[in-house]
Chain A
Amino acid sequence: MHVSLHRGQRRGAQWVQSVCLVMLTVVFSSSIDSAGADQYQRLRAGMLDAIRADYQDTAVYIDKEKADPRVLAAMGQVPRHEFVAENLRDVAYENRPLPIGHGQTISQPYIVAVMTDLLSVQADDRVLEVGTGSGYQAAVLAELVSHMYSIEIIQPLATQAEKRLQGLGYKNVTIRHGDGYYGWEEQAPFDAIVVTAAAGHVPPPLIAQLKPGGRMVIPVGTRFLVQELLMVVKDNDGSVSTRQLLPVRFVPLTGGH
């Protein structure tokens, strides 16, 4: 149950990890070790329930009445367990982020749902993703739009995600290895852009490649904990503004002010 996260790991300490592994295996994974397709289907339904429940509390706060059923349906289609390492499959549908190696993570399902929802994509939209990672977000979006373009800066992740998505039959996703700062000039403009890699600032070329009326969503925070979502909105007249959203319902003031 353990992914080697640190660079330059040495054999010296493997015994400690082995001990952890054994304990973990015994405690946590005996029950669903050999989950079949049905089992994953069930887990996926559970995940959707968890997302719906979270939405109920939070919907108003992210300017949504409730979760877009199309987004939930899309997430119900994508086999999330295929996007994580073998040893994490059992927990793939838990509402939590997971490490995918290379210092990267696959986002928490709830956050994926909110981000996808915020993009408000239509069936014939072209969508750009910067930071493919495992390819999970791209797969979810690919269920909803005509074509997904995704750029990943870490070569092994790009290759892996491409192979994975091909294997799963996603024909409308194109992945490129490279620097996402300049977007994807040849395929621009985009109806929606999702930046999953941490950004020091919003790259001006990405704003330029957003269609009028388009939206860009950027999670802000650390690899495992999303602090807030930044949404860049380009109005029909081309003016740009941003919105900062908490993915949870939390008002900083208590009553009495």
Chain B
Amino acid sequence: MNEIPNNAVRPPLLTIVLISGTALAYEVLLMRLLSILQWHHFAYMIISLALLGYGVSGSFLCFLQQRLIQHFTHSFIVNIVLFGVSTVACFQVAQQISFNAEEVLWDPPQLLRLFAIYLLLALPFFFVANALALSLIRFRDQVSRVYAFDLIGAGLGSMSIVFLTFVLHPLPALMVLGILVMVSVAVAAWELSIAARVKVTAGALLGALLLAVAIDHVDLTISPYKGLSQALRIAGTKVVDTRSSPLGYLSVLESEQVPLRHAPGLSIKASVEPPPQVAIFTDADNMTVITEDAGDRGAFAYLDYMTSALPYHLNSPGHVLILGSGGGADIQQARYHGVPRITAVELNPQLVDIVRDRYQDFSHDILNQDGVELHVSEARGFVTQSRDRYDLIQLALLDSFAASSAGLYALNESYLYTVEALQVYLRHLEPGGYLAITRWIKLPPRDTLKLFATAVEALQRENKAHPDRRLLLIRSWQTSTLLIKNGLIGDEENSALKTFAADRAFDVAWYPGIEEAEVNHYNVLRQPYYYGAAMALLGPKRSAFLHNYKYDIRPTYDDRPYFFHFFKWRVFPEIMALRGRGGMPLLEIGYLVLVATLFKAVIASAVLIVLPLIYLRRHNTPMSQDRVSSPRVLWYFFAVGLGFLFVEIGFIQKFILLLHHPVYAVSVTLTSFLVFAGVGSAVTQRIVQAGGHRRATRYAIIGIALFAMAYTWLLGPLFAHLAALPMALKVIASVLLIAPLAYCMGMPFPLGLSRLSTAASHLVPWAWGVNGCASVISAVLATLCAIHFGFTVVITLAVLLYISAAVSFPRVMQTTGPLKSR
């Protein structure tokens, strides 16, 4: 690997595309893998912090850039090799560390394990960041070009990983990424025309082969406390099939000896045992079941002993829409009640395949029965586009109790339970029809009350008079079902409700004309919390009640779609005082994990940013000579790093409302942002030649501000017009809308970098590191802001950050740019 004279070397652009793409794909895949092994929010935290590898790389290169640049080809290739090896090796070692989040409270050493996991998983990102940063430094005269290919590679990576994870299971997908990195080693050798390129190619291919063999010996080490692991402890259970896609890793579990008897929310008065069942776990948790249908209708009588059966006792719905049909229990329930026409919607096509193919006989072909019509689609998107009206819309329990009760969904956006979503459902009800939403009961009450508040708000927005006369709420010890009627509830329904509830030992919590003496009889709580809350939420004291309640149960909106976020800081000290005696579950842990992640990211970033600066001051040419103020450099790259991801994350959420499907929406939006930002970066050089750095930066940032602000106002009404279009056209519309904004966003970072490389080139790796740290902080901060203030505020903040960047970098380096998302 001898160095070649400078002038002969061109930037290894293809290699950059490959490794940048693989790095982004790896990040997405790691999220998938860790969501299977652990719980989603810990996966989120671990990966956020692992991405600090980019920041570490910046600091590292501050110390060693001169030495490494002297041997650029060497360093570049070695870092790629290490990236490839670590993608597989670090994951394998990290997953062996038995970290159990629930024990952190009592068992401080758990934190050491968590720290070890961060470090291990940061390594791959560190190596790939080194390779990328070395290219930016080495080819500083072509910064915007190199960065353009970095962004475009990332864009392609974000798209490819979706396809890859649809086709392959996570571990084989990991193997493909490892092999791709090895291929890029060979590509690099040829692009850089090194003398030993043939040998390097042979070595890389051998490496690829070894990685492939190694992967074969890796198994997923799933936390023993997840639902699947727990079920597998029981003799006679085995996983008979697995499917994998970006929507989740499905494990089909059969139990030969002990029946599964899955019937959450079953009345204590039920005496019928559920028929034999097969379980399907998503990401090793979140169980849904397929129930055997041997032709005996009576076997499904237990489904009449659920709170969700209430609407079937109020009228005889002719057409029922089931949102989230899963293994088919809600379809069975509707069939049990003799519903002639059932439309079912399920998001995950692999789940549908399992029910329809593998268990066709077992389930008596439930999805193809006469009168049953199944659609593979996202629930809200389906209803939005549906031209039908329904007598009953059932929104099933889509999440598991354990995860829900532990507050693990706090970070998940959900567009199913917002005021706007409920309005959409209500508009698709026949006169006299019902919307039924079943939720887990938690103590103290949380999501049922938030849902109630959201329903009241939706009814008011729909200008429905007397919301109190359109709502019914019942509860068992495990589930609650809220009914919203398209019409006023009459005495007949009231008495049917009372009979239904009394026969099943369910408590009524709200119906028009309810008396306090009727509530809290069967499942006795210390206070009639649900009734009291319903009264308050329907009365004049609503806002005081929401304020005084110890959990956040305010209605959720599309702009702040965190239905599962209940945490209030005000109550934190009280709960912490109770933690020793079992008060811990009162905390909504998901939110605190987010805060902890931000805290750690900020501390780590501060260290990573300050240390190299001290070193550079001591060992390098004095800053004054560069005529560059390092605080300004810091703020410029930091603001641009924060701003880029704020805009990206904000608009990903906005576009979900048009594209609906969680995977496609994120993939289309993210890819468009990255690719068009790449295009923007590619043309900056030309723009600079025409008008100078300062002017270019100013134009770019004005463009960002204009488009971003205009979109926050215009997208809503625009999407309403586009809603009925076919998916392909919606995707094209999204890409076209994102293009100009992303194009402008691609400029500030390379503009800043190219200015820096002439004015103070030793600061280039530092700026790269600052940008890396900013993007980690940004992702976490954006979610936190969105939880509290909504995505519109996130986007507005991004615009302010960009403007502050433009202002903060005038003197020598009047310009600037952002950083790509990773």
Contacts and interface: CB of A to CB of B under 8 A. Distances in A.
Interface of A: 1-2, 4-10, 12-14, 16-17, 19-20, 23-24, 28, 50, 54, 57-58, 61, 91, 94-97, 99, 102-104, 108, 110-111, 153-155, 179, 181, 198, 200-204, 207, 220-228, 230, 232, 240-257
B213 interface: no
B583 interface: yes
Given A5-B224, A61-B526, A204-B271, A110 B97 contact: no
B113 interface: yes
Closest 6 CB pairs of A and B: A13-B96, A252-B444, A103-B224, A224-B102, A54-B581, A201-B266
A97 B466 CA distance: 49
Contact of B585 (A24, A227, A242): A227
A45 to B, nearest CB: 17
B97 A16 contact: yes
19 contacts: A2-B98, A8-B219, A10-B221, A13-B96, A16-B93, A102-B224, A103-B229, A153-B234, A201-B270, A207-B268, A224-B100, A226-B585, A241-B523, A242-B268, A244-B477, A244-B524, A250-B586, A251-B550, A255-B548
B109 A253 contact: no
Contacts of B224: 5-7, 102-103
A10 B405 CA distance: 32
Contacts of B581: 54, 57-58, 95, 110, 247-248
A17 B547 CA distance: 47
A200 B261 contact: yes
B550 A204 contact: no
A49 B548 CA distance: 34
B545 interface: yes
Contacts of B264: 200-201
A198 B400 CA distance: 13
Give the interface centre of B263, B271, B273, B526 by most chain A CB atoms within 10 Å.
B526
A246 B444 contact: yes
A20 B113 contact: yes
Nearest to A232: B268
B575 to A, nearest CB: 7
Given A13-B93, A201-B478, A248 B582 contact: yes
A50 B579 CA distance: 13
A224 B225 CA distance: 9
B585 A257 contact: no
B112 A23 contact: yes
B103 interface: yes
Contact of A200 (B105, B263, B585): B263
Interface string B111-142: 01100100000000000000000000000000
A217 B549 CA distance: 28
Nearest to B264: A200
Contacts of A198: 230, 402
A10 B95 CA distance: 10
Nearest to B269: A240
A131 to B, nearest CB: 12
A152 B298 CA distance: 31
Would you call the interface of chain B mostly helix, strand, loop, or mixed? Answer: loop
Contacts of B257: 179
Contacts of A54: 580-581
Give the interface centre of B103, B259, B271, B477 by most chain A CB atoms within 10 Å.
B477
A247 B98 contact: no
Given A221-B406, A230-B477, A252-B549, 17 more contacts: A1-B109, A13-B97, A16-B93, A16-B96, A23-B109, A179-B257, A181-B261, A201-B265, A204-B273, A225-B585, A227-B405, A227-B585, A244-B443, A246-B586, A250-B574, A253-B549, A257-B536
Contacts of A57: 578, 581
B222 interface: yes
Contacts of B707: none
Contacts of A204: 268, 270-273
Given A103-B225, A223-B102, A227-B405, A12 B524 contact: no
A252 B445 contact: yes
Give the interface centre of B107, B112, B219 by most chain A CB atoms within 10 Å.
B107
Contacts of B230: 103, 198, 223
Contacts of A97: 106
Nearest to B259: A181
B234 A154 contact: yes
Give the interface centre of B94, B230, B264 by most chain A CB atoms within 10 Å.
B230
B384 interface: no
B262 A200 contact: yes
A20 to B, nearest CB: 5
Contacts of A200: 261-264, 266
Given A54-B581, A200-B261, A224-B103, A9 B221 contact: yes
B541 interface: yes
Contacts of B223: 6
B96 A6 contact: yes
Give the interface centre of A97, A249, A257 by most chain B CB atoms within 10 Å.
A257
B523 to A, nearest CB: 5
A14 to B, nearest CB: 8
Contact of A7 (B221, B442, B529): B221
A257 B541 contact: yes
Contacts of A220: 405
A241 B476 CA distance: 11
Contacts of B505: 240-242
A178 to B, nearest CB: 9
A5 B219 contact: no
B521 interface: yes
Nearest to A63: B526
Interface in B273-290: 273
B638 interface: no
Contacts of A58: 581
Contacts of B529: 252
A248 B219 contact: no
B309 to A, nearest CB: 14
Contact of A10 (B96, B522, B580): B96
Nearest to B234: A153
A103 B237 CA distance: 15
Given A24-B109, A153-B234, A252 B551 contact: yes
A6 to B, nearest CB: 5
A225 B524 contact: no
A242 B520 CA distance: 10
